[in-house]
Structure 1
Amino acid sequence: PDIVPTVCMNHYDPWELNGKALEAGNQWYFFSHAKHSRVTPNGYWSSVCADETVSSGGCSVGVKKTLVFSTGEPSEGTETNWIMHEYHLLDARKGISSSTSSTNSSSKKLHHPNTESNNWVICRVFDSTTGGSQAASCHEEDMELSCLDEVFLIPRR
């Protein structure tokens, strides 16, 4: 089985993630399709602040989006204490010139091992009233990842 499972986030409300996502204390981790609907059976996820740059070794490697879960219909929902941090990798190919992109495919694979990576996000979901609230901030400037964060995106303790 996958260590970090894939979950269709529109199939479950956040309180239904037990047994479906990787649990670490009061936090749940899972992969999901980047363009998947954020509407669930009883509510929806909405962005609450500007996307943040995630960096490693002084280089921007990804983006973190912070979302809050609301119950009800999108036009008249009630905000809850459920928070989701959604991380995705930046497209490493953007800086490649057209002459470089015409190189052989093995060279491309060496520099761009997974061209499908931007189709996926890793999500961390938690109830801000039961822990993890230190990570709920929308204002973590130039977030730097540790080696373990880069592998698992688990917050430092």
Structure 2
Amino acid sequence: MAKESFKLIANNKKARFDYFIEETFETGIVLHGTEVKSLRMGKCSIKESFIKIERGEMYIYNMHISPYEKGNIFNKDPLRVKKLLMHKYEIRKIASSMDRDGYTIVPLQVYFKDGKVKLEIGLAKGKKLYDKRQDIAKKDQKREAEKDFKVKNLN
């Protein structure tokens, strides 16, 4: 069995802080040639992006792909709306859970998988302020434990 190649381009850490991720999906993105070249150079941001389902199709808004330096007239708008590639039954499943349970769709990471650009999206439910505080406290405890462990092992 051949080994998959995986190269991370952009990660959305804030999404995991602000939301409980219930389920993740892998989607393809409709891109143009200069956008792919720019992604190969790692010039992408999904921090402010969001996903909508319109007329049975899924689109990502505000995904910033910097213009390719050598692309001249072939460069596209960096913030243009991009279509996501998923099966109809997956889109219907996500749409029904969004309507019924108050979920939203958040982009988690953009990466290359076997030479193709993929986007990992998550079906997510928003966290309350006290949930975020708990996450911060856990992170602080972990950091303290690692610090204590390091100090003990140096002596």
TM-score, length of structure 1 as denominator length: 0.24
Which is bigger in relative contact order (C-alpha 8 A, separation at least 6)? 2
Q: Which protein has the bigger helix share?
A: 2
TM-score, length of structure 2 as denominator length: 0.25
